[in-house]
Amino acid sequence: MHTNRIRIVLVHTSHPGNIGGVARAMKNMGLGRLYLVQPKRFPDHEADWRAASAQDVLADAVVCESVEQAISDCHFVVGTSARGRRIPWPLQNPRQCAPQIAQAADNGEVAILFGREDRGLTNEELQQCHLHLNIPTSEAYSSLNLAMAVQIVAYELKMHEVGEGDPAEAQWDAPFSTNEEVERFYQHLEQTLVDIEFLNPAAPRQLMTRLRRLYSRVRLDEMELNILRGILTETQKWVQRVKSSKE
């Protein structure tokens, strides 16, 4: 497993001690790439203190202005979610996710997103993920500390790495699309649906959310994405020809 291709992304972390605790949990399990989206306090001495012997992880941490910036070059994105959503998304526990994360890391960059301490990731942030991860907890008390949550996910990745008999993944015949490329496809798709009058911008309902869920069930490679965007482009050309002929 290419652990150097797996990044942990913390979104709007409010307490620096949690950042340090996450760095320590990561290093325990052999992960070293930490991304921070608009942390409230960082760098901070409390983060250094909580990190203990993992201060090198903090020193190399990448601070970003947005989730989009943190994952733009990623080919597979997993978002942690504790809440039920209006439209269900593919949801797995850490043990189920670990083989898919490891497999994805063999072919490209992977991000695992952890949200705000008090309310997690937003719906918009989760919609940028291929897979949603949920850590099962007791119904009597379901609250997990941020570092604990990262530790659980990182532990399952480590167990997959040291496990015996895991089948080797065959190399894909084309590079997988990055998150930035996929987001441009969604924009193109939405505009095309508006052009053909299938999508009403004034009343979009949940159409694009459901289409995102549909395409997120598979990982599009660059060639597949180019084919889809080519279809959209030709569709737009036909729409323009029809409109021009009526003028």
Residue 35 burial by Cβ neighbours in a 10 Å radius (0-12, 13-18, 19+): buried
Q: How confident is the model at residue 105 (pLDDT cuts 50, 70, 90)?
A: very high
Q: Where in the chain is the domain with CATH 1.10.8.590?
A: 179-246
Residue 166 has pLDDT above 60, yes or no: no
* Highest CATH level, class, for 3-162: alpha beta
Ranking 62-66, 86-90, 95-99, 188-192 by mean pLDDT, the lowest is 86-90
Closest by alpha carbon to 8, among 91, 163, 28?
Answer: 28
**How does pLDDT run across 108-142, given as a tens digit for each residue?**
999 999 999 999 999 999 999 999 999 999 989 98
Query: What is the predicted pLDDT for the residue at 165?
Result: 41
pTM, two decimals, is 0.80
Which of 3, 104, 20 is closest to 54 using CA atoms? 20
Backbone torsion region of residue 244, taken as left when φ is above 0, otherwise alpha when ψ lies between -120 and 50, otherwise beta: alpha
> Looking at the DSSP assignment, which residues form a beta bridge with residue 141?
138
Q: What angle do CA 133, 138, 144 make, to 5 degrees?
A: 55
Per the CB < 8 A criterion, the answer to whether 19 and 47 are in contact is yes
Q: How far, in whole angstroms, is CA 67 from its chain's centroid?
A: 9
- In the chain, the percentage of residues whose pLDDT exceeds 70 is 95
CATH architecture observed for domain 179-246 = Orthogonal Bundle (1.10)
Q: What is the pLDDT of residues 216-246, one digit of tens each?
A: 988 899 999 999 999 999 999 999 999 899 8
Mean pLDDT computed over every residue of the chain: 92
Give, in degrees to the nearest 5, the angle at Cα 114 between 113 and 115. Answer: 120
What are the φ and ψ backbone dihedral angles of 77, each rounded to 5 degrees?
-130, 130
Question: Does the structure show a pLDDT above 60 at 80?
Answer: yes
Helices 16-28/146-162 angle, 10° precision: 10
Q: What pLDDT, on the 0 to 100 scale, is given for residue 246?
A: 83
Cβ distance 22 to 34 under 8 Å?
yes
